[in-house]
Amino acid sequence: MTSMSVKRFMLLFGIIQVSVASNLILALVAQHLSLPVFLDSTFTILTAAWFGLIPGIITGFLTNLVHEAVSGFDGVKLPFAIVNMTSALITWFAVRRGFLRHATGAFWLLIVLALANAFLGSIIVTTLFSGVTDSQVDNIVRAIVISGQSVLTSAFLARVFINIVDKGIAILILFPLYRKLKG
């Protein structure tokens, strides 16, 4: 490796570490305060937008792996790594297609992220955990189930609204910074 590629690797390695730690801190704060949001992919989205697909995917995977370890390897966090990694893929694609050049594009990125996360999350939670993972979203899922919807539909609907807020936070950070710095 050349000295420039070593420097780039070390920079990306540091950025990924900071992003994973930041995702984990946000997720644990949300969990501790019983907030009905996840906040575990904010820095995955930012990393994918600024540094590319591979750093974003690594950030997403490592966030869930470390969260799993911090949670005592309860088996709940790691299956959702695919959701976090998908956020990186969608963000990277959207940035390459110019979605962050205007507010409409940022809005559509938010909608696609929220729907994709809700879809994948509801499939995972329904298939592996019978719809319940002891998170705040479960209260919303239960309320929708009581109204007569299936567990899968309830898990999806609850996650759509939560992910709009959750990913909206990341987009509200990313969009103005990206426009200002990348034009």
Would you state the pLDDT for residue 136?
Answer: 85
* Mean pLDDT score, 113-135: 95
Assign residue 35 a region (left: φ > 0; alpha: ψ between -120 and 50; beta: otherwise). beta
Fold of 3-182: Arp2/3 complex 21 kDa subunit ARPC3 (1.10.1760)
pLDDT in tens, 28-38: 999 999 998 99
Residues 6 or more apart in contact with residue 54 via CB below 8 angstroms: none
61-97: per-residue pLDDT in tens?
A: 999 999 999 999 999 999 999 999 999 999 999 999 9
Per the model's pLDDT, the better-predicted residue between 1 and 171 turns out to be: 171
pLDDT at 174: 95
Local confidence band at 180 (pLDDT 50, 70, 90 cut-offs): confident
Q: What integer pLDDT is reported at residue 1 of this predicted model?
A: 62
Range list of β-strands (E), the chain: none
Contact between 57 and 88 under an 8 Å Cβ cutoff? The reply is yes
Q: State the average pLDDT over residues 125-147.
A: 92
Mean pLDDT of all residues in the chain?
95
pLDDT attached to residue 2? 75
DSSP 8-state assignment for residue 40 = S
- 107 vs 8: which has the higher pLDDT: 107
Which sign does the torsion angle of CA 90, 11, 183, 107 carry? positive
Q: Give me the mean pLDDT over the 93-107 stretch.
A: 96
Q: Where are the domains of the chain?
A: 3-182
Q: What pTM was estimated for this model as a whole? A: 0.93
Tokens at 23, concatenated: 């995702």
